[in-house]
Amino acid sequence: MWPVRVSGIHAVAHALQTALAPALCVVCDAVLAGRDRGLCGECRSRLIPMAEPCCPRCGVPSALEAAPCLGCAAAAPPQAGSVFWGSYDGVLRRAVLALKHGGHDELARPLGQRLAARVGLEPWSDKITAVAAVPSHGLRRLRRGPSAADLLADEVARAMGGRRISPLRRHGLGRQAGRTRVQRSQLPRGSFSVRRDVRAERILLIDDVSTTGTTLRRVAETLTDAGATAVYCAALAHAPEPRRL
């Protein structure tokens, strides 16, 4: 009897698994074909980046193209620049939720690559010396593993050929998810601290979704107070105010 190669056994097992329990698109439940992971080709084509003018400092849509919005003109945020890839609705919202809560880590690569490409359009992208994620609390990481922000930061650093660092610690188990916009804006100072030297670093800070921008500002404040030369922010999705919708 001829010996069976292990690689052949794995190929057969994979074929059986695909036939008996095919992977489905997280948005439309279509059976994924070929090398598709997480999203089918049609749903990927419906991932649409933001096209309207945005404030270069805080990243929110603004009527003042290439100029700071009125809020940033009145009180400049601690970050030197911000970008968002898309609006938190439709296919992008479903994909983000699947990455955050559905265990679909395979979505981090296509979404992170899109965010990295968006960052690459900014004049400050070549100034970045390190990539970091908005941190989750240590107990949550122990219970649930890497956060969506961590997974996206890994992919952004890989796509940009950058250095990935984890210089931050989060304090308190309170979460921004589920809070009103007013409650989110009241995130206390001291919610984050630095656990490694960041002096002279120009850090790209990654998050999955930005609603009021308060978390990004608090983390950017923490990093600049600790000596970072500059902090730039990038989030995959921006949740607009209801009245803007």
Confidence category of residue 3, pLDDT binned at 50, 70, 90 = very low
Does the global pTM surpass 0.85?
no
With a cut of 60, say whether residue 185 has pLDDT above it. Answer: no
Query: CA 10 to CA 7: how far, in whole Å?
Result: 5
Query: CA 242 to CA 245: how far, in whole Å?
Result: 5
Average pLDDT over residues 137-165: 88
pLDDT in tens, 85-112: 999 999 999 999 999 998 899 999 999 9
pLDDT of the residue at 149: 96
* Structural domains of the chain sorted by starting position, each given as residue range(s) with its CATH number in brackets: 1-42 (no CATH), 47-238 (3.40.50)
pLDDT in tens, 208-226: 999 999 999 999 999 999 9
